[in-house]
Amino acid sequence: MAGYIKRKGKNYYELVVEAGKDPATGKRRRISKTFRGHERDARKVLVSLENEMVEGNHITPSKITVGAYLDKWKEEHVTLRSLSPKTVESYEYIIDTHLKKAFGGLMLEKLTPFHIQDYIAIVIRRLSPRTLTYILVVFNMALKAAVRHRLLRENPMDFVDRPRRAKKKKMRVLTPKEIAILEDAARDSFLWPVVCMALYTGMRRGEILALRWPDVDLEKRIINVKHSMQRIIRRGIVFKEPKTEAGCRTVEIGPTVISVLRQVRREQLEHRIAYGPDYQNHDLVFCQVNGKPLDPHHMSRRFHRLATSIGLNGFRFHDLRHTHISYLVAQGTPLSTAQERAGHGDLASTVIYTHSVPGKQREAADRFEITFGRNPAEMPPQNI
């Protein structure tokens, strides 16, 4: 590509490179760039610009701000990937609450690793490690797309020293004694049916609250998991299909769950009669007394208060699912069966439960001792 230099003033030049014809209009295109410095240095830059054009590596400076680009990327990313409403909500929160406030007014082409590194240094003590990690993951995805779309030559995130990824919350599994205490406390609460479902089936919170009576067969002792529920800030309660194909599954149930479901159905029929035409029938198994869906966040808060009141501090509703799957595996249930029951997309997600039940390591240690002729029960206590 031929190029030339125009002198604009003392040590001030305009570098121009012919870029062929515009395929849309047929008109000649020129790429220009201003340069301040000695003429010999200007010629070096011109040669570099010409090489970029020949090799197809030239990036035309964009006049878009980081904020405007993030909005555009979010729309395209959501459309192409068919993201769930909850994921879209989390992206919107990260972009609007954090990224646009920090970088929104900056021109995209002016964004540097220093800007991002400086931001990390400012917020690292204010934000949780988990939140900061998610912010950087979303920003990195957006900037990678900017490179692919030739809005940036390189991704500034590639040159940033990121903090260590947030550790995942440790899985909490109840002991048999804790399970008994929780059941006794929950039986006197409206939470008992959903607590029982989570503990005895391993179903997720959203799956339980989205369960409909047509998907329950008490005679065959099965539940067909077909939907999940989420609460989205701008949309309210949303029902959707499970994230993975494995999430759509059949869960077999035992006498305890069957008894609870029959009681729920009896009470629900009484409520329908009491409310008459004002009853909102969605065919939901677990709902408010007027038929409206239960709010998943409200239910989790109520469960948190219940767990705290009996000394299970920090125990989450989702940990009931962990407890169920952990005991399945500990009792010798084949991993493939546990995987199917849990609705895991891959076996690796189930394998992590193989060492979750309290006391199993001690049992393993004792079995090892027995293998070599030692009886753990006869071992003398240590003097401390």
Domain limits at 79?
66-159
Percent of the chain scoring above 70 in pLDDT: 83
Is 337 in the same domain as 215? yes
Q: Rounded CA gap, 46 and 33, in Å?
A: 9
Which tens digit of pLDDT belongs to each residue from 145-179?
988 887 888 899 999 998 877 666 777 899 999 99
Which tens digits make up the pLDDT trace of 250-296? 999 999 999 999 999 999 999 999 999 999 999 999 999 999 999 99
Rounded to two decimals, what is the model's pTM? 0.68
Number of structural domains the chain divides into: 3
Among the listed ranges 29-43, 85-99, 102-116, which one has the minimum average pLDDT value?
A: 29-43
331 within domain boundaries? yes
Residue 380 lies in a domain: no
Q: Is 170 within a domain?
A: no
Residues 93 and 196 in one domain: no
- How far, in Å, CA of 262 to CA of 127, rounded? 46
On average, the pLDDT of the chain sits at 84
Same domain, 192 and 294: yes
Dump pLDDT digits (tens) for 287-327: 999 999 999 999 999 999 999 999 999 999 999 999 999 98
- pLDDT for 225: 94
Q: Which residues contact 72 (CB under 8 A, 6 or more apart)?
A: 64
- Phi/psi of residue 12, each to 5°? -140, 120
Whether residues 119 and 23 share a domain: the answer is no
**Is the Cβ–Cβ distance between 41 and 49 less than 8 Å?**
no
Q: Are residues 146 and 250 in the same domain?
A: no
Give the CATH number for residue 348.
1.10.443.10
Q: Which residues share a beta bridge with 14?
A: 6, 34
Q: What is the pLDDT of residue 23?
A: 46
86 and 28 share a domain?
Answer: no
**pLDDT (mean) for 371-384:** 58
DSSP 3-state of 266: helix
Please indicate, yes or no, whether residues 184 and 332 belong to a single structural domain of this protein.
yes
27 pLDDT higher than 60: yes
User: Do residues 70 and 50 share a domain?
Assistant: no
Task: Say yes or no: 323 and 217 in one domain.
Answer: yes
Q: Which residues contact 147 (CB under 8 A, 6 or more apart)?
A: 153, 154, 155
Q: What is the SS3 string spanning 194-237?
A: HHHHHHHHCCCHHHHHCCEHHHEECCCCEEEECCEEEEECCCEE
Verify that 27 and 125 share a domain, yes or no: no
pLDDT, tens only, 96-138: 999 999 999 999 988 999 999 999 999 988 898 889 999 999 9
Residue 320 maps to a domain: yes
Same domain, 212 and 344: yes
254 within domain boundaries: yes
220, 309: one domain? yes
